[in-house]
Amino acid sequence: MAAFLFLLFLLSEAASDLIMLSVHPGEDAILPCRAADVPIRAVEWTRPNLEPPQYVLFYRDGHLDTTHLHPSYKGRVQLLDRHLKDGDVSLILKNVRRHDRGTYECRVASVGFTRTKRAILDSEPIRTIQLQITDSNSGQSKDENSTPVGLYIGLGVFFALLFLT
């Protein structure tokens, strides 16, 4: 089964940079993201469809910056590894709610990053995740565009990250 999930992960990576992830309301979600193995100075998680401020998480110089964090995420987000070991900048979203459904983007800046004020990093996202919230009773998503394959891709990414570290 693990080999199948890993293969599914590899195929999904080849086909698209978009990862589909499904969770139930009230659960914690891990949104996987891995940067190149270089010293990281800043990590930015955003939701492009949120009204400004759109930050889900902004981490700079070893500290979370909650100044411009969207109010619905305060106290519910953290990095999986605050030390950013091996470039792991995965996001933990606690107590997922229905309004958390949407697109999440992960960006990083290396040590050469010199901006001192809050701004979207001038780079393409290194990971884009489509988070789906499933109905606890039926296991089916309330969003008619979702597919169960997203769950397998998300699990594949999670297990692949575990096996690769």
Q: Structural domain boundaries of the chain?
A: 2-164
2-164 is classed in which CATH architecture?
Sandwich (2.60)
Q: How many CA atoms lie within 13 A of 29 on its CB side?
A: 28
Q: What percentage of the chain carries pLDDT values higher than 90?
A: 44
pLDDT at 85: 85
Residue 118 — very low, low, confident or very high, per pLDDT cuts 50/70/90? very low
pTM of the entire predicted model: 0.69
Q: Is the pLDDT of residue 3 over 60?
A: no
pLDDT at 94: 97
**CA gap 71, 145 in Å, rounded:** 27
CA atoms of 72 and 99, how far apart (whole Å): 9
At 86, is the pLDDT very low, low, confident or very high (cuts 50, 70, 90)? confident
Burial group, residue 102, by CB count within 10 angstroms (0-12, 13-18, 19+) = middle
